């Protein structure tokens, strides 16, 4: 209920009028039935504008931090992300994310659209980073197509540290569905999962024109954060 109130009554109309988002390739998104929308991830507002240009509801996998923060701000985030149908995912790796994967598979089993960012986190510099294989596993287990979708201009709208996005026209571009039925029954083969994931990332690179970096974005972010801490420590000495 909250999802549709925000999209159709409160937030959605405001975003459409003020930012005037444009979209290409929406015909590639099925009118009914399950599919995975796999996108590049540049900034927070990606998850606002991608579903805004579609008639159907999109359920996203969202980092569990949004659901566990304390205080009034944390309560607001839990209410917002939970009410809009987001699924919390533990990004620490291994079996920690298994409950979220199961929930995501149920979303697909119910015939819905699932939004996922294969990079696992926002790009630190606007480039496209190596994808995690969760998208491949879900596509193969659920036997659903993967629709590549890229956000255009959102990094310029909301650069790191900016709360309110600039008034610019963001774009959403959907590609042709990717069919991985040739790998049916091979969802536990790590080489197959990597191959499928790389195919998804290549489609995103082609659609977006982004430079591809064969490293995980989270690793690059961790390295940058470490360098910043060392720099501050050096300045304090």
Task: For the chain, list the domains and their CATH numbers.
Answer: 2-236 (3.40.1130.10)
What would the mean pLDDT of 64-81 be, rounded to a whole number?
Answer: 76
Q: Nearest-CA neighbor of 135 among 201, 84, 81, 86?
A: 201
Q: Nearest-CA neighbor of 63 among 146, 121, 104?
A: 121
Distances in whole angstroms, Cα of residue 21 to Cα of each of 12, 56, 151, 166: 11, 17, 10, 13
Q: Does residue 233 surpass a pLDDT of 80?
A: no
Of 14-28, 130-144, 223-237, the one with minimum mean pLDDT is: 223-237
pLDDT band at 5, cuts 50/70/90? confident
pLDDT band at 92, cuts 50/70/90? low
Question: Using CB atoms within 10 A of its CB, is residue 28 exposed (0-12), middle (13-18) or buried (19+)?
Answer: middle
pLDDT band at 132, cuts 50/70/90? very high
Which residues, in sequence order, are CB contacts of 208 under 8 Å at separation 6+? 40, 128, 150, 151, 152, 173
Question: Using CB atoms within 10 A of its CB, is residue 52 exposed (0-12), middle (13-18) or buried (19+)?
Answer: buried
Query: Do residues 86 and 116 make contact, with C-beta atoms less than 8 angstroms apart?
Result: no
Q: Does residue 44 surpass a pLDDT of 80?
A: yes
pLDDT band at 145, cuts 50/70/90? very high
pLDDT of residue 91: 63
Within a 13 Å sphere around the CA of 101, how many CA atoms are in the beta-carbon half? 18
What would the mean pLDDT of 101-118 be, rounded to a whole number?
Answer: 94
């Amino acid at each position: 209920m909250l999802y549709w109130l925000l999209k159709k009554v409160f937030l959605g109309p405001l975003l459409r009028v003020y930012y005037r988002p444009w979209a290409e390739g929406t015909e590639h998104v099925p009118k009914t039935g399950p599919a995975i929308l796999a996108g590049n991830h540049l900034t927070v507002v990606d998850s606002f504008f991608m579903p805004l240009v579609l008639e159907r509801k999109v359920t996203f996998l969202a980092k569990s931090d949004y659901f566990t923060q304390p205080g009034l701000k944390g309560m607001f985030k839990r209410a917002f992300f939970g009410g809009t149908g987001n699924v919390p995912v533990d990004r620490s790796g291994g079996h920690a994310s298994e409950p979220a994967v199961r929930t995501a598979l149920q979303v697909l089993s119910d015939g819905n659209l699932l939004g996922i960012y294969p990079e696992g986190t926002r790009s630190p510099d606007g480039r496209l980073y190596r994808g995690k294989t969760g998208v491949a596993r879900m596509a193969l287990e659920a036997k659903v197509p993967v629709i590549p979708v890229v956000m255009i201009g959102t990094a310029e709208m909301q650069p790191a540290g900016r709360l309110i996005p600039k008034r610019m026209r963001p774009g959403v571009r959907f590609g042709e569905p990717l069919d991985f039925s040739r790998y049916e029954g091979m969802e536990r083969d790590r080489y197959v999962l990597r191959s499928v994931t790389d195919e998804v990332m290549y489609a995103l690179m082609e659609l977006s024109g982004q430079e591809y970096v064969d490293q995980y974005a989270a690793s690059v972010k961790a390295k940058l954060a470490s360098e910043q801490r060392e720099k501050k420590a050096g300045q304090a000495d």
